[in-house]
Amino acid sequence: MQSRLPTTVYLSADDVIRIVQRVGLSRCIAGVAARIERDFLRWPEFDKSARVACHSRDGVIELMPIADAHEFAFKYVNGHPSNTRAGLPTVMAFGVLADVDTGAPRLLSELTLTTAIRTAAMSALAARTLARPECRVMALIGNGAQSEFQAIAFRDLVGIRTLRVYDVDPAATAKLVANLVDQRLDIVVCNSAADAAQGADIVTTVTADKTNATILRADMIAPGMHINAVGGDCPGKTELHADVLTRGNVFVEYEPQTRIEGDIQQMAADFPVTELWQVLAGTAPGRSGDAEVTVFDSVGFALEDYSALTFIRDTAAELGIGDVVELIPHSDDPKNLFGVLDRHTTNTGPAVFA
């Protein structure tokens, strides 16, 4: 019997960089945000679960799976805040799309750059849904690898024009300022998180330390603010004081996961939250008034990675970018996996079994 070899498209880091350069970062962020919104609107169609995490002293390695009736996706991702001291990124990721009906892998892609794009897209989508429409000033606390993507996403999708920026590492802030010098944003460098939050319509916290931190306190919150808490994304890692969470309504991605990993891990099990897809679908209220404080307790969810993977796959196909790799051994008889060893040793001598 002749078997059909599954075709797997491979997108390297260089491939994804080429895609972003040809399409433009702003259009990529907007495209991923549109995919996330579309997929959140069909939330009940997905087989969802919290990510699987292996924690160590220095960080975490996670697998994030999700599937609908047609495609399965997963992301491998780490979070090691001390990596930068060794010249490595804090976050590194890759992802896979596979056919549900056969299990055949169809896409293997880098997701480090793509995750930065999808995280910014998710933040901006949530803010566009929950924040006051007239928001123009954002505090950006934590100026590491994710910060520029957040800034551009909020500029394009929310209308932010002024950034009030702060990081405990002045070099990170200097990097952010240099990278955004031509991005049509007024940037104010601040001396503390409290200083950055002063006068802001939106506060985005995107810090990396794996600790129960208090980046934002209740006395830093003004009526009508929208809080975009991105950095608290695993057990034992928070950014918001518990009193911030009681100041307004809290919105999450996938509640079972956020209860474990988000800032709401500090709260009782019955602390009320709303999943964002319900607001997008019109089945739950979002902001109820201009003075209300809204909090998006974002931890990152696998559905967002699925959306990003399908966007990057389809865009790569349109641009003719990517290679085909043979992840699955080819055999004329799919029941004879052992036989592929003979085929691959024909020109290299006999196989030796011990």
159-210 tens-digit pLDDT: 999 999 999 999 999 999 999 999 999 999 999 999 999 999 999 999 977 7
Residue 243 has pLDDT above 90, yes or no: yes
Shared domain for 294 and 148, answered yes or no, is yes
**Residues 177 and 85 occupy one common structural domain:** no
Residue 347 lies in a domain: no
Query: What H or E segment, with its residue span, contains residue 110?
Result: strand 105-110
Q: Are residues 243 and 324 in the same domain?
A: no
* Res 349: pLDDT: 52
Domain shared by 294 and 308, yes or no = no
Give domain status of residue 246, yes or no: yes
The strand pairing partners of 226, in sequence order, are 202, 294
Residues known to be catalytic? 233
- Indicate whether 108 belongs to any domain: yes
For residues 154 and 337, which has the higher predicted lDDT (pLDDT)? Answer: 154
Distance CA 351, CA 342 (A): 7
Same domain membership, residue 296 and residue 308: no
pLDDT of the residue at 353: 45
Residue 86: give the domain boundaries. 8-113+304-338
Residues 83 and 225 in one domain: no
Return the closest-CA partner of residue 228 out of 132, 124, 151.
124
User: 3-state DSSP call for residue 21?
Assistant: helix
Same domain, 312 and 294: no
Q: Describe the crossing of helices 25-40 and 147-157 by its angle, rounded to 10 degrees.
A: 80
CA dihedral sign of residues 128, 129, 134, 138: negative
Average the pLDDT over 282-294 and give the result: 97
243/213 same-domain check = yes
Same domain, 220 and 329: no
State the average pLDDT for the chain. Answer: 94
235 & 326 share domain: no
The domain boundary residue, chosen from 300, 327, 348: 300
Number of domains in the chain: 2
- State percent of the chain over pLDDT 70: 95
DSSP states along 203-235? EEE----SSEEEEE-GGG--TT-EEEE-S--BT
pLDDT, mean of residues 40-53 = 97
The pLDDT, as a whole number, for residue 345 is: 58
Which of 254, 270, 300 is the endpoint of a domain? 300
Residue 102 within any structural domain of the chain = yes
pLDDT at position 2 is: 46
Q: Find the mean pLDDT for residues 225-250.
A: 94
User: Measured on CA atoms in the order 159, 161, 162, 168, is the torsion positive or negative?
Assistant: positive
Asked if the model's pLDDT at residue 124 lies above 90, the reply is: yes
126 falls within a domain: no
| Residue 352 in domain | no
Residues 57, 181 share a domain: no
Highest mean pLDDT: which of 3-7, 114-118, 228-232, 341-345? 114-118
**301 burial level (CB within 10 Å; 0-12, 13-18, 19+):** buried
318 within a domain of the structure (yes/no): yes
> Cα separation of 111 and 63, whole Å?
13
Mean of the pLDDT values across residues 252-279? Answer: 97
- CATH assignment of the domain containing 154: 3.40.50.720
Q: Residue 25 has what pLDDT?
A: 98
CATH no. for residue 103?
A: 3.30.1780.10
pLDDT of residue 5: 65
Task: Let me know if residue 121 belongs to a domain.
Answer: no
d(CA 173, CA 190): 9
In this prediction, residue 81 carries a pLDDT of 87
The answer to whether residues 58 and 153 belong to one domain is no
